[in-house]
Amino acid sequence: MVSLNIDVTRQVTMADVETTMIDLLAYDDGVMAQAARHHLGSGGGRARAILALQSAHALKLPFETTRAISAACELLHNASLVHDDLQDGDTVRRGEEAVWKKFGSNTAICLGDLMVSAAYAAIASAPVDRMSEMIARMHKRVSDVIGGQHADLENDCTTIAEYNEVARMKSGPLLGLPVELCLMAANFSDHVSAAMAASDAIAIAYQTTDDISDVERDIEVGGLNFLMVVEGDMTSRTLAARLHAAEYSRAAIEIAKTLPYGSGHGLIALAEKFGPLLAIGEAA
């Protein structure tokens, strides 16, 4: 009986999340399974799974619910990476060949589709009362992120407000979703909009920080970049980007602090990566 107790109460690990993802994708030993293993096996920070694990732990969600939310969000994110790489023509992902480059465009399209489907299969395995509501939320955030990816591809931002809108839609939805779903599963739906606001602000801070290192490539390919929507020489544009990131990072932290039982802790840790300390440290 002791072993049963240990099994039931143990925390979800990243290995559990990886196993859940692969089980939902690699139903045979064909090319699709190989492509799934190649993509997921190449690593990645699993930031969305980590956010889910942290929020779920804070809210004391059951094992299966935690695993389901973590795997669902990470599958959606990886679906977007597989399709984005194809759309953007990026040949390398995490030091390995991108799926479309190694297995062809057709396999990349099929694998992304399979990952979106698997994400919903993952969330449906959660023993929760609010399944309909949680799935509706997932679709809303998928719609948002697809709108963001599309706006990014059609990039024609000329103002900071337009830039913020695209940056927010590009990364905010899938950074917020893990926390939002945990809050819903724990009956804290009233706090979902705060989690969304915090993740939107993180998305803007993240994108702006990223733009500083990507500026040369973005100029070349006409990609979305904060430095292209402000004026001045490159030094002052870079400084403006750091200040912009710091401002949104601070806002995200303040909002995430309001989430119940420390369920915004993961968002705060993420926001701190793009925050004032970094801005000062790197500018020094």
Beta carbon nearer to its own copies, 50 or 180: 180
Beta carbon nearer to its own copies, 148 or 266: 148
CB of 75 to its own copies, least distance (A): 11
Torsion of the alpha carbons at 115, 116, 121 and 123, rounded to the nearest 10: 110
CB of 149 to its own copies, least distance (A): 6
Beta carbon nearer to its own copies, 79 or 183: 79
Beta carbon nearer to its own copies, 221 or 277: 221
CB of 127 to its own copies, least distance (A): 8
Instruction: Compute the distance between CA of residue 225 and CA of residue 230 in angstroms, rounded to an integer.
Output: 10
Structure tokens at 187: 């009956």
Beta carbon nearer to its own copies, 70 or 107: 107
- Neighbour-count burial of 1, counting CB atoms closer than 10 A to its CB (0-12 exposed, 13-18 middle, 19+ buried): exposed
Nearest to 274 by CA among 176, 218, 203, 197: 203
Return residues touching its own copies (CB under 8 A). Answer: 24, 27-28, 30-32, 79, 83, 86-87, 105-107, 109-110, 112-114, 116-118, 120-121, 124-125, 131-132, 135-136, 138-140, 142-143, 146-147, 149-151, 153-154
CB of 150 to its own copies, least distance (A): 5
Nearest to 253 by CA among 177, 198, 205, 204: 198
CB of 115 to its own copies, least distance (A): 10
Instruction: Compute the distance between CA of residue 235 and CA of residue 215 in angstroms, rounded to an integer.
Output: 12
CB of 262 to its own copies, least distance (A): 29
Which residues have a Cβ under 8 Å from the Cβ of 60 and sit 6 or more positions away?
Answer: 186, 261
Beta carbon nearer to its own copies, 43 or 127: 127
